[in-house]
Structure 1
Amino acid sequence: MTDPRPRLVIIAFSRLVSDARVLKQIARFREQCAVTTIGYGPAPEGVAEHCAIPDEAALWRWPRVALILRQYRRAYRGNAALIAAREALRGREIDAILANDIESAGIALEVVPPQQVHLDLHEYAPRQREELWRWRVFVAPFVRWMTRRHAARVPSVSTVSPGLAREYRAEFGIQASVVTNAAPSIDRDPHGTGSPIRLVHSGAGLANRGIALMVEAVERSTADVTLDLFLTRNDPRFMLELAELCAASARCALHPPVPYDELADTIARYDVGVFVLPPVNVNYRWALPNKLFDFVQARLGVIVGPTPDMAAIVREHGVGAVTDDFTAAALTRELDGLTPATVDAWKAASHRSARALSAELEVEKWATAIGAILSRGR
C-alpha cells in the first residue's frame, strides 16, 4: 500500500544519530511525513528510509585543483559526499526537502525548485574557519560562491541565532528565521547545591573553545569548586595536553563524551554549566549552542562569557552569570563569588524557564516552514 503522507527528504552531512539538531527535525516530522534521510551512519529511529553516505566520502575533501583554480562548479560536482547524495536523490518523488548546511542547498536545488526547499544553516558558513589563513584563501571564496549561487535562491531559510541571521542578511540578503538549538523539555526538579560546587562542561575537545582557560580559572579560584569535562576527541594533540592539565589537578577531571541521549541525566548531577567561548571567529562571536539549553533542561545554573546571544538569554531568564570578558581571570572572579544559595537561585530560574527554552516550541518554526511548502504543493 502506498504511503499517503507527504514525502519529505532531510539531508545533513553529519552522523545523523548523534546530530542533536537534525534529530529534532526527524522527531518532529516522522509521524506526519514519510521521511527519507540522507547522511552518515545508521538509520535514525522512525524514518521511512535512510540513504547512508559512505564514511570514506568525507564532505571536507573538495577537489583540490578545482578549488585552487576557482573552478567552483567543478569542485561542487566532484565532491564524493555530494555525489553519493545526488545518487540517493535520483528518480525520487519529493514534496519537500529540509536541507541542512550550505553544502546541501545545491544538491536540493538539482532535484526540486527553490520553493520546495527549506534550508537550515547551522553556522555562518562563509566565515566558519576564518582564523585559518589557508581556509580564508582557498575555501572561503568557494563557500561564498555556494552561498550566493545556492542558498540565496532559497526563500525559506533558518539559522541558529539572531547574530548569524543578521550576518546572512547583511552580506547576502538572506532573510533567515531563528530556530535555536534548544534541548527537548525534561520534567525534573533541581537538586540542592552542596560543597564543593560542581561545575560541568560538555562538547567538542578543541583548543580554540576556551577549555584550558576554564581549567585555569578553576585552579585559581578561592571558592570550593570542581570542574568535570565531557569532551569529544576532535583535536587529539590538544586532548593530550588537556589530559595532562587535569591529571595534575585535584579539582578538574576529564571524562570521555557521553551519548546525547544520556547527556541530560549525566550533567544533571552537577550544579553549574560553564562555557566561556573566546570569539576567534564569527560563529563563536554569535554562538548560541546546544549546551546552554542542555544546562537549563538539566536545571543547572549557568556561567557564560559575554557572547551576546548567550548572555542575553542568561540575563533575561536569570539562570546564571556573565563574565566581564573572555579571560580566565574574569571567570575566576565569578567563581570566587559563588555560594550554594546563589546557585540554588539560578537552578530555580532554570526550572521556571525550562519550558520557554525547550525544543518543543522551537521546532514548530520548522513545522510552519515545511507546512507552507507542502500547502503550496497541494
Structure 2
Amino acid sequence: MPRPSLLILSFSPIVGDARVLKQVELFRRDYRVTTCGYGPAPEGVEHHVRIPDDVTSWVWEPKLVITHAHPATYWWNPAIRWARAHLGRGEFDVILANDVEGSGVASALRPRRGFHADLHEFSSRLNEQDAGWNRHIRPLFEWMVRRHVRRAASVTTIGPAIAAEYERQFGLRDVRVVPNAAPFEPHLAPQSVGETIRLVHSGAARRERALEQHIDAVAEAGAGFTLDLYLTQNTTPYFEELRARAARTANVRILDPVPYSDLVRTLNGYDVGLFSLPPITFNTRWVLPNKFFDFVQARIGQVIGPSPEMVDVMAPWGFGVVAEDFSTEALARAVASLTPEIVAEQKRRADAAARPLSAESVVQVWKDAVDAIAGV
C-alpha cells in the first residue's frame, strides 16, 4: 500500500522551528512528506516548497484591516496568497497546517482526506496588551479560527489552558495538547557543579520578556553566580539595551545564539536555566515554552517565575525553584537561594524527568490525529 502524501505547512523558517521539525521527524517514515515554509528544506522530506524570503507573512493591508474585511484581508497577505498559488489543490491526502494562518490555505487546497490544525498559541490574544491589536487584528484572527480552523478534522495546541480557551470561546471540540517538549537526549548526563553556579537563558531578545530582570537579578545575587544569555533578534534596539546593561555587570554575558541542533548540548555545560515571564497577556500567563523542556533535556536545574503551567509540570519532579512573584527582587532571591548541593539535586531530578517529559512521550497525539484523517 503506497504511503499517503502529507503537506506540512508553516509560515516559518522550518529548519529553525523546533515544533515543526518534530512533525517532520514524526511523519517522514510513514508518509510522503512535503513541507512548505521559509528557508531550506528540512532533512527527511521528499519535497520542499520554499516561500521566497521577500514574500512577507506578517503584514496586512491597513485599509482592509480597519474596515474588518476579513476574507479580503486574509487572502491579501503575500505569503498566504503565494502558498495558495504554488501548492496544488487536491494534490495531498492530508495537510498538517501550523497556526491559524495555515488553516485557511489548507482548507482552500482541499486535501483528499482532510487537514489537521496545530495552533501554537492562542492566536487572537498574542498582542492583547496593544489597543490597536485588539481593535483591528484580534477580530481578524478570531474570524480565521471561526472560518477556517473549525473546518479542520482535528486540532492541537501547546498547553491545557490554551486548549480549554479555544474550546470555550470558539466551540472547537476535543482540542488536544502537544507541549513544546524537546526530543530525548539519551547521551547527556548531569554535569558536576562548581563553587560558582552558572545560569543560562536562551531565546529571543523581545521587550515583553523583560530580560533586563534576569540580568539585574543575577547581578544582585552576587559573585557566586554567573549568567549567559544566548539571544536571537540581536539587531533590535532592545538587544542593544540589554547588551549595555550586561556590560555594566561583572557576572552577566550576552552571547551569540547557537543552532537549535546544538542548543541542548550547549545548555548541558551549565547548572541552571533561568526564565521568568511577566503575565501581561493570556499567552504569557499560560506559557509552557520550548526552553523549559530544553533545560530538562540538558539535565540542568531551573529558576522560573510562578507561571501556572510551568509550575504544574515541574512540581512532581522538583528540578527547580519557583520565584515568589515576577519581580526582579523575587527572582534575585530565588537565584540567591541556590547552593551547589541544591543544584546538584535539581540536576539529578531533571535527569529522572528527561524521558517522561520528552517529545517522544507526547507527539503520538499528532500521529493519532493525522493517521485518523488519512485512514491508516
Question: Normalization by structure 1: what TM-score?
Answer: 0.96
Q: Which residues of 2 match residues 142-161 of structure 1 at below 5 A? A: 142-161=140-159
Deviation by residue 1:101-141 (Cα, 9 ceiling, x = unmatched): 00011111112269611100001001011112221111111
Q: Name the CA distance, whole Å, in 1 between partners of 2:89 and 2:74.
A: 20
Other-structure match for 2:36: 38
Alignment match, 2:185? 186
**Matched residue, 1:72:** 70
Report the TM-score when normalising by structure 2.
Answer: 0.97
What SS does the corresponding residue of 1:325 show, helix, strand or coil? coil
% identical equivalent positions: 44
SS at the partner of 1:316?
A: coil
Q: What is the correspondence of 1:289-308 to structure 2 with a 5 Å cutoff?
A: 289-308=289-308
Letter in 1 for 2:314: V
Structure-1 residue corresponding to 2:115: 117
Q: How far 1:155 sits from its partner (Å)?
A: 3.4
Q: Deviations over 1:326-372 (max 9, x none)?
A: 01111111112110010011100000010000011111111111111
Return the alpha-carbon distance in structure 2 between the equivalents of residues 235 and 159 of structure 1.
30
Aligned to 2:261: 261
Partner of 1:94: 92
- In the aligned structure 2, how far is the partner of 1:191 from the partner of 1:53? 42
Report if the CA contact (8 A) 1:201-1:228 is conserved.
yes
Correspondence for 1:22: 20
Q: Distance in 1 between matches of 2:151 and 2:94?
A: 15
Note the C-alpha offset of 1:323: 0.9
- Offset, 1:235: 6.5
- Aligned partners of 2:37 and 2:16: how far apart in 1? 11
Aligned to 1:84: 82
Tell me the residue number matched to 2:346: 346
d(CA) in 2 for partners of 1:38 and 1:63?
Answer: 23
Specify every segment of 5 or more residues in structure 1 that has no aligned partner in the other structure, as ranges.
none
Find the aligned partners of 2:288 and 2:228 in 1 and give their Cα distance. Answer: 21
114 and 122 in structure 1: CA distance in 2 versus 1, 3 angstrom threshold: farther
After TM superposition, the structure 1 stretch with the greater mean CA deviation from structure 2, 108-117 or 161-170, is 108-117
1:360-375 correspondence to structure 2 within 5 Å: 360-375=360-375
The answer to whether the Cα contact below 8 Å between 2:153 and 2:373 also exists between their aligned partners in 1 is no
Q: Give yes or no for contact 2:97–2:115 (8 Å, CA) kept in 1.
A: yes
4+ aligned runs moved over 4 Å, structure 1: none
**Aligned-partner residue type, residue 329 of structure 2:** A
Q: Where do 5+ consecutive residues of structure 2 fail to align?
A: none
1:165 aligns with 2:194: no
1:61 aligns with 2:59: yes
The corresponding residue for 1:358 is 358
| Greater alpha carbon shift after TM alignment, 314-323 vs 110-119 | 110-119
Letter in 2 for 1:207: R
Q: Structure 2 CA distance, aligned partners of 1:39 and 1:336?
A: 44
Q: CA contact under 8 A between 1:131 and 1:281: conserved in structure 2?
A: yes
Indicate yes or no: 2:47 matched with 1:49.
yes
Aligned residue pairs, count: 374
Question: What is the CA–CA distance in structure 2 between the aligned matches of 1:60 and 1:191, rounded to whole Å?
Answer: 42
1:182 alignment partner AA: A
In structure 2, distance between residues paired with 1:68 and 1:134? 10
